[in-house]
Amino acid sequence: MVQSSLAKRYRSEKGFRAFGILSIAVGLVALSCLFVGIIGSGIGGFTQTKVRLELDLSVELLGITDTHNAEQIKDADYQPVVREALALRFPQVEGRSDKRLLNAIMSVGAGYEVQALMRKHPEWLGTKQTIWLTADDDVDVYYKSRKGKVLGDRLKEQQIGWIEELIAKGDMERKFNVAFFMSGDSAEPELAGILGTLLGSIFTLSITLSLSFPIGVAAAIYLEEYAPRNKFTDFIEVNINNLAAVPSVIFGLLGLAIFINLFHLPRSIPLVGGLVLTLITLPTIIISSRVAIKSVPPSIREAALGIGASKMQTILHHVLPLALPGMLTGAIIGMAHALGETAPLLMIGMVAFVMDIPDSIHSAATVLPVQIFLWSDSPERAFVERTSAAIMVLLMFLICMNTLAVVLRKRLERRW
């Protein structure tokens, strides 16, 4: 009897296990597809095509009349210097329209790069300098794809000729994309960076953490340690669990109604973003903190109370330190969740073009996922790889935060 059913039970056991392995495999395949896709298209975003030009930083070209006037050197128009350098490099180019095409090889940011360098090295005035300057985004797309299927039909035949000539002479190369990490958003892909949005994320998250962690922990302690068990506290508990499942966009609407329409706070600032994200992460933190407090054995509380500690002393000296790792893990996971949030920020105006790098919690800013959303919607082809590069940065932050949560739990958590 047992023998006859044994084979069948083994079989179903095997099937059950195979099903589990299959599920994990599906998950892993999906994840690796995502990673391969994003890394494949994003890795190029960390490099930028540059062109080496010999610049003639002469007084006449810059229209500087007083060589000792630092203001004049600072505010001079450096665009003509770049144009002149290109004209010297390709003396055969004539005619207005051809010259326009030639100038289009360089980014509009090239002039500003020269300006920034001149502010650092005013002694260069009147000399000749050979400098690597940023190329236009269309050139960037062409250069990166020219080995395979060439993208970027936007370049004219003459332009491709000039580019090939620059490449042949070694005057065009891919360099590490410093601008990507050191500047704010830009309408030109070759000048766009994530520093502004990264700072926006940091400001927003610091508000969120500094509000939601103390509030969440205090709520959890009260609910676990002090609150009587009655219908009212049950009602609160049900509602906290519900709030954790409410779509985040609704919190955005709430934030719009309260912080902007009622309190008249300005739109698009990290302060409001942080407040809204606080509302979103609060339920997560309360729930995980309660679990952490609950897992502290009652014997510890009883022992503390038994030797005469007050309730507050028991909680602060014994329960809280033991529950802290669990609470921190919850907070970090809540923060990681908040870092990836876009929808509620749409409502409070944080989805915007902000070029300046934010310097406080009340200057206009966006956050990393919003920047990704905005770039993915931009028509310029070169934004595709910048979008993926920004996703990689975001993923890196998420991986770091989640690893920290795991490490904290592993190292600090005590098993009873």
Partner 1 sequence: MKKVIAALACVSGFALTAPMAFADRDNISAVGSSTVYPFAKVVSERFARKGNFKAPKIEPTGTGGGFKEFCKGVGVTFPDIANASRRIKQSETDACRAAGVTEIVEIKIGYDGIVLANSKKTPQLDLSVKDVYLALAKQVPNPKGGDKLVPNTAKTWKDVNAALPATPISVMGPPPTSGTRDAFVELVMESGCSSFAFLKALKDSNPEAYKAACHVLREDGVYIEAGENDNLIVRKLAENPNTFGIFGYSYLEQNADQIQGSKINGKAPTFENIADGSYSVSRPLYIYVKKAHIGVIPGIKEFITEFTSEAAWGDTGYLAEKGLTPMPKKERASVAKSAAELETIAQFRAP
Binding region for partner 1 (CB under 8 A): 75, 100, 108, 112, 151-154, 184, 186-188, 260, 262-269, 349, 351-356, 362-364, 374, 376-381
Q: What's 88-146 look like in SS3? A: HHCCCCCCHHHHHHHHCCECCHHHHHHHHHHHHCHHHCCCEEEEEEEECHHHHHHHHHC
Q: How far is the CB of 178 from partner 1 (least distance, A)?
A: 18
Q: Select from 106, 113, 183, 172 the least CA-distant residue to 144.
A: 172
Give the nearest distance from C-beta 18 to partner 1 in angstroms: 35
| CB nearer to partner 1: pick between 251 and 383 | 383
Shortest CB 255 distance to partner 1, Å: 14
Q: Measuring CA to CA, how many Å separate 18 from each of 8, 15, 35, 358, 370? A: 15, 5, 25, 52, 40
Q: Which residue type is seen at 296?
A: V
Cα 199 to Cα 34, 185, 269, 364, 366: the distances in Å are 26, 12, 12, 11, 9
Minimum CB separation from partner 1 for residue 104, in Å? 8
CB of 385 to partner 1, least distance (A): 13
CB neighbourhood size of 223 (10 A): 17
CB atoms within 10 A of CB 94: 10
Element (H, E) at 71: helix 70-75
Nearer to partner 1, 305 or 346 (CB): 346
At closest approach, how far in Å is the CB of 80 from partner 1?
A: 14
Cβ proximity to partner 1, 263 vs 416, nearer residue: 263
Which one, 340 or 349, has the nearer CB to partner 1? 349
Maximum separation of any 2 CA atoms in the chain, in Å: 107
The nearer residue to partner 1, 275 or 296, going by C-beta atoms, is 275
CA distance 133 to 136: 10
- Please, which residue, 327 or 384, has the CB nearer to partner 1? 384
From CA 345, how far away is CA 372, in angstroms rounded? 13
Nearer to partner 1, 75 or 165 (CB): 75
Min separation Cβ 221 and partner 1, Å: 18
Is the separation of the CB atoms in 294 and 325 below 8 Å?
A: no
User: Are 102 and 87 spatial neighbours (Cβ–Cβ below 8 Å)?
Assistant: yes
**Smaller CB distance to partner 1: residue 196 or 326?**
196
- Alpha-carbon distance 57 to 127, whole Å? 6
Residue 141 beta carbon to partner 1: minimum distance, rounded to whole angstroms: 10
